[in-house]
Chain A
Amino acid sequence: MAEGFSILDKYESPHTDAPRPAFYLDLNLNQILDKVTQTWGKQVKKMFLYFPKDAQCEQYRRGVYGDVKQEGCYDALMKFLEMTAKMEENQKQEEAVASAMQKDVWHLWAIWHYCEAFEGLRAQLQKLELSSEGMKEFLRLLGEHLDSEGYKTMRSRVDSILKELMGFRFTITYDKDRMIISEGTTQGDYEAFVEKGGDHDRIRLKSPFLVSPNLSDLENECLSVLASKRPKIFAALKETAEKYQSFGLDWCFQFIQEIPYYLSFRGFQLDMEQKGCVFCTPTVDENQETSAEELYDLALKLVAQREGRKVVSNSFAYQPGESFFVLTGPNQGGKTTFARSLGQLIFFTKMGLDVPARKANVRYYRNILTHFSVEESIETGRGKLKEELIRLAPMMEDYEENDFVVINELFTTAATYDAEIMGKKVLTHFIDQHCQGIYVTHLKELASAHPKVVSLRAMLNEERLQTFRIARSEAEESACAANQVNKYRLTYEQLKERL
C-alpha cells in the first residue's frame, strides 16, 4: 500500500503522457497554466493535462488542496522543496564530478538533505490540524519511515562522517617547490597582519580551488596525503556511500514530484488574490444544479491585469430541468468570455482546485467538450464549414454521457436555414446524452430549439454600449456596429460637435 501512495490520486493514478486535450486552447487554459507553472517547469505543467479518475479522486485532491491552503502548510511545503532541491543538486554534483571520493561525499550530502527535508516537513505538518485523507495518510506513512531503525542508522552514520570531514583543518606549506601537508593549524597569522595594516574594505582571500566543482590535481594530491594520515574516516566515507547507494522510499520521491501540482496553483492563487482577484472552493452538491456567483474568465483577467483593464464577472445558475444555455447578443459583448469562464469553472473544479468565482456549486461531469470556431482559419465558406464539422464529428460519436459542452459559434458560414437545422440537431444530441453546457450563437432561433434550452443574452446599456453582463433574456440577433461607432464618437452629429 505504502509504495503506491500518491498525493495526487487516491487510486492507481493514470499517469500518462497524454496529449493536450482539445478544450485546452479553446478555454485559454494554456495561458492560465503557463502562468501557474511558469517558475515550475514542464514536468509540473504535465500534471494539469489529465483529470482525476472519478469524483472520489477529485474530492481527494480538493481535500489535499484545502490542507495546502492552511496557514503555514504552504510555507512548510515550499521550504521542504527547497531542501529537496538541494538534494537534487547534490545528486547532480555527484554525477558531475570525477573523483570517487568526491562522488561519495556528494552522495552523503544528498542523503543528508533528504533527511533534513522530510524531518523538517514532518515537524511542521505535526503542528497543523490536517483534515484531508491524502495529507493525513502521507503524515502517517512518513512517521513510519522516519522512525524505522534502518532510517535512523543511515541518518546518524551520514551525520557523523560529514561532521568530521567538515570540521577538519589542515595546513599546506608551500616551500622549495613542494607542498607539505600537515594536520591542524600553525602559528603564523599573516591574515591578522593584513587585517591590521591593509585597507579595511579590502578584498577577501579567494580560494583558487573553487573555479571548478571537480577536485584539482593539487587538491587530489593533498587529499591522498591526508587519506594516508587519516585512513579511518576516508574508509568510513566509502563504505557508507556504498551501503546507501540507493536511499529513501519511492513514494517519498514521488511526493517530491507531485506536491508542486498544488503548490504551483497555490502560489499563483495567492499572487492573484493579492492583486484583488477572488477565488473560492466550489461545492460539489449533486442535489444542487451547477451555478456560480461572480464568475470571471481567468485568462482574460491575466491579460487585463497587464493592461490595467477591468474584467466583468457574471453569475449564473441552471435551474432543475435545464440543460443548455443558448447565448446570443452583440458582438464584442462578452459572449465568448462567458462561455470560456464556464468551461474554466468546470475544469478547475474537476482538478480539485479553487475556481475563479465568489461562490460556486459544480455537479460532477465526466469530461469537458468544446468546439470553438477558429477565426484565424484561412478557410472560408464551404471549407470552413467542413473543417468545423470534421472537428465536431468525434465529439458526437462519443456516446459517453454527462459531459460539459461548450460550443461557440458553429456554422457561421453556412446558410442560415441549414445552420438552424444543424444547430438544433447538435443541441438535441447533447441533451439526449444528458450533457449540460452552453451554446454561443448568432441565431436567435436556437434559443427555442428544445424545452431544456434557456436563452441568455449579452446585455447593452441604455446608450447601446456593451456591459459584458450576461442575463436570462429573449434572444436577439447580433447588433450592428453602431454601438462601436457610438463608443468612439464617430457619428455625423458627434463629429460635427467635435470638429
Chain B
Amino acid sequence: MNSFLLYENTDKLSAPAYYDAKSIIQDLGLKALFLAAAKEVIYEESGQVKRVAKEDLYIQDCMRKVMMIPLRTKEEIRYRQEILDDFLKHEDLIRALYEISSKVLAEWNKLGRGVMEKMSNSNPAAKLISDIRVIKLLSDNIVAIREMLLEKKDELHSHGLRDLLKRLQEEYSEEREAYVKKVLSDVDFYVGDGDPDEFVSLVEKPRIVLECGMEEGLKFSSLKLQEVSSVKTKFYKPGGTISKLQDMKNSRIPDSFSTVKETAIRDQTSQLEFQIVSYLIGSMASMVTDFGTFFDSLHLQSAFYLGALNLKHQMKRFNLEWCLPKVCGQDKLAFTELKEFVMCLEQRVDAVGNTCNMDHKMLLIVTGANQGGKSTFLRSIGIAQVMMQSGLMVTAEHFESGIFPDLFTHFTRREDSEMNSGRLDEELNRMNQIIENLGERSLILLNESFATTTEKEGSVIAYDIIKALNEIGVKILTVTHLLSFAQKEYQESQANPASDIEFLSAERKQGGVRTFKMIQHAPELTSFGLDLYESIVEKKESM
C-alpha cells in the first residue's frame, strides 16, 4: 500500500538531490526555513499569535530531505501543489494524518517493532501477542484514515488525496476489515486483557473445534480448524469453591478430560492455542508488511505538508503575501513583490519586495551599492526557486520560473574572502565541481564570485567562465563587484540587439539613500563603497 503524497507513483525519495545541497542550504540560509517549518504557530482565540510551539525535529529533518530533492516536471509540481492546496484548506486533515501516523509508529515501537523479530525464538508467545496488537493498531488506524478521507471526499480536489482514498477502499475494503475484526475478536482470549483482580470479572476463554487424523506413528496430523472463538465467562479464583463445583460439573461431560489439572497437558494445550492463533494471525501477516511501510511513508509525507502548513502560518504571522508559483519556460523569470523569506523569519520583519520580469534572459548581472540588498535579492530568487521545485508556495504576489533540477550556488562569503591564492584555488575548485556536474537544466547563482583575487583578474575569469556556460545554455544569476566584467558584458549587450543579458542595480536615491530595490540600470564604475566607508569611518571617528 502506497501513500503517494509526494510523487504520483513512488513513495521513495530516490530521485537525485541537488548536487551540492549542503552549499545551497548554507548559501540560501535554508536552515532557518526548515526550523520555521517545524514550529506550529499557535493563535489566541482572537486570532492573535499566542506563541510558537517547540520545533518538531522530525518535520525539520523531513523538510531538509524533501526540499533538497527537486521535482523535475511541471506535472510533478502541479501534483504536490494540488495536495498542498487541499491541505491548506483542510488543516485538520493534514494535522490528523501526521498525528495518526506518528502515533501508530510510536505505539508500534513500544510493541517492539524490529526487536520482536529477534525475540520470536526466545519468547514466541510474547511475539504473537505483540503481533495481534500490531494488527489491531494498524487496522483501527487505517480505518480511521479511510473514514476521515471519505467524509471529506467531495471537498478534496487533488488527485493525490482522491486516489489515496480509492486505494484505501480497495486495499483495505470493508470485507477485509470485517475479516480482520472477526479474527481479532475470536483470538481475543490469547491476548488476555481481562482484569482478574476484581471480585467478579469476565475473562475470555477459547473454544476451539479441531478435526484430526493420525499419521504413521499415531501422531495427530492433518488438522482442520472448524471453530475458534473467545467466550466471555465469569472469572472464579482457581481452587475456590465455585471453581471446584464447576470442575465437578464439567467432569461429567462424556469422552472428555481436563486441560488444567496436569501441567503437561496444560502446557500442550497452550501450545495448541499458540499454533492456532499463529495460523490465524499469519493469515493477516501481509497487512503488517503492506501497511507498515504505508505508515512509514505517510508519516514522512504528512510531515512535509504539515511543515508547509506551518510555513504558511509563519508567512501569515509576518504579513507576507504568498502564492503557488507558476511553472514556465527556462528563459523566463518573473515575479511581483518577491520577498526574502528567510530574512523575514530571522529578523521577524516584513522585507522589501522586488518585482522583475526577465523574458528571454539567460544572464542576470546585479551590481550596485554595498548593503543595497543585492545579495538579499539573489537569495530571494534562490529560495523561491527551491520552494517552487519542492511544490511549496513562495513569498511573492506572483512568481513564475522554469524548472532547474541542476541548481548550484557559488557564494563568496565576506568574512573569508581574503585575497590569497588558497582561497581562489578553493573557489575555482568549487566552480570546477559545478561544471563537472552540470545537467541539461542548470541554473547557477553566483554571489561575488572570484572576488578573492584582483578585480581585473577576477573579471577575466568570470567573463570566460560565464560566457562559456551561457553558450551551452546554462542560466546564470550573478551579483558582482567585478565592474570591469560587468562593463564588458554591458558594452557587448548594447552592441547586440538580441542580447539575453539583464542588468540590475541596487537603487540609490539622491543623497545616497538605499531603497533595497533593484532597478534596471547600467553597471557603474564605482560600487559606492566609498560612501559606505565614509559613513562607517566617520561614525567611528565621531565616537
A219 within 8 A of B: yes
CB atoms of A223 and B259 under 8 A apart = no
B207: chain A residues at CB < 8 Å are 173-176
CA gap between A102 and B223 in the complex, in Å = 19
A177: chain B residues at CB < 8 Å are 205, 250, 258-260
Which of B267-275, B354-362, B374-382 forms part of the interface with chain A?
Answer: B267-275
CA gap between A208 and B227 in the complex, in Å = 17
B233: chain A residues at CB < 8 Å are 176
CB atoms of B258 and A178 under 8 A apart = yes
A216 within 8 A of B: yes
CB atoms of A191 and B225 under 8 A apart = yes
Q: A173 to nearest B CB, angstroms? A: 5
CB atoms of A202 and B285 under 8 A apart = yes
User: Which A residues between 140 and 173 are near B, CB-CB below 8 angstroms?
Assistant: 165-173
CA gap between A431 and B208 in the complex, in Å = 88
Q: A19 to nearest B CB, angstroms? A: 41
CA gap between A57 and B231 in the complex, in Å = 77
CA gap between A93 and B209 in the complex, in Å = 30
CB atoms of A170 and B276 under 8 A apart = no
Instruction: Using CB atoms, name the residue of chain A closest to B246.
Output: A176
CB atoms of B282 and A203 under 8 A apart = yes
CB atoms of B259 and A174 under 8 A apart = yes
Q: B220 to nearest A CB, angstroms? A: 5
Interchain CB contact (< 8 A) of A174 among B216, B250, B269, B282: B269
Instruction: Using CB atoms, name the residue of chain B closest to A189.
Output: B226
Q: B291 to nearest A CB, angstroms? A: 13
CA gap between A105 and B253 in the complex, in Å = 30
Most central of B214, B258, B286 by chain A CB within 10 Å: B214
CA gap between A166 and B257 in the complex, in Å = 24
A-B interface contact total, Cβ < 8 Å: 188
Interchain CB contact (< 8 A) of B220 among A190, A209, A229: A209
Interchain CB contact (< 8 A) of B283 among A170, A187, A198: A198
Interchain CB contact (< 8 A) of B219 among A194, A219, A221, A228: A219
Interchain CB contact (< 8 A) of A198 among B179, B221, B255: B179
A166-B214, A177-B259, A178-B258 known; A190 and B179 CB under 8 Å?
no
CB atoms of B217 and A102 under 8 A apart = yes
CB atoms of B285 and A199 under 8 A apart = yes
B225: chain A residues at CB < 8 Å are 190-191, 194, 205
A101-B218, A180-B253, A180-B255 known; A218 and B269 CB under 8 Å?
yes
CA gap between A175 and B221 in the complex, in Å = 20
Fill in one digit per residue for B169-185: 1 if any A CB lies within 8 Å of its CB, else 0: 00000011011001100
CB atoms of B283 and A217 under 8 A apart = no
Interchain CB contact (< 8 A) of B250 among A99, A169, A178, A188: A178
CB atoms of B227 and A188 under 8 A apart = yes
Interchain CB contact (< 8 A) of A180 among B182, B213, B215, B256: B256
Residue count of chain A within 8 Å CB distance of chain B: 61
A22 within 8 A of B: no
A179 within 8 A of B: yes
B265 within 8 A of A: yes
A174-B210, A175-B207 known; A206 and B275 CB under 8 Å?
yes
CA gap between A178 and B260 in the complex, in Å = 8
User: Which B residues between 227 and 278 are near A, CB-CB below 8 angstroms?
Assistant: 227-228, 231, 233, 250-251, 253, 255-260, 262, 264-265, 268-269, 271-272, 274-276, 278
CA gap between A203 and B262 in the complex, in Å = 31
CA gap between A388 and B285 in the complex, in Å = 74
A178-B256, A190-B228, A225-B257 known; A207 and B265 CB under 8 Å?
no
Fill in one digit per residue for A184-204: 1 if any B CB lies within 8 Å of its CB, else 0: 011111110110011101111
Interchain CB contact (< 8 A) of A186 among B176, B226, B257, B260: B226
CB atoms of A197 and B226 under 8 A apart = no
CA gap between A450 and B207 in the complex, in Å = 97
CB atoms of A171 and B280 under 8 A apart = no
Interchain CB contact (< 8 A) of B211 among A169, A198, A199, A229: A169
CB atoms of B275 and A171 under 8 A apart = no
Q: A41 to nearest B CB, angstroms? A: 25
CB atoms of A208 and B268 under 8 A apart = yes
B212 within 8 A of A: yes
Instruction: Using CB atoms, name the residue of chain B closest to A216.
Output: B268
CA gap between A203 and B219 in the complex, in Å = 21
A385 within 8 A of B: no
Q: B267 to nearest A CB, angstroms? A: 9
Instruction: Name 19 A/B residue pairs within 8 A (Cβ), A-sorted.
Output: A99-B218, A102-B217, A105-B217, A168-B213, A169-B213, A178-B256, A179-B269, A181-B256, A185-B226, A193-B179, A197-B176, A198-B183, A203-B279, A205-B275, A210-B221, A216-B268, A219-B219, A223-B218, A228-B255
| Supplied contacts A166-B213, A194-B183, 18 more A-B pairs, CB within 8 Å | A90-B216, A99-B218, A166-B216, A171-B209, A173-B208, A174-B209, A177-B250, A179-B256, A182-B255, A186-B209, A197-B179, A197-B182, A205-B225, A206-B275, A207-B219, A207-B275, A208-B275, A216-B264
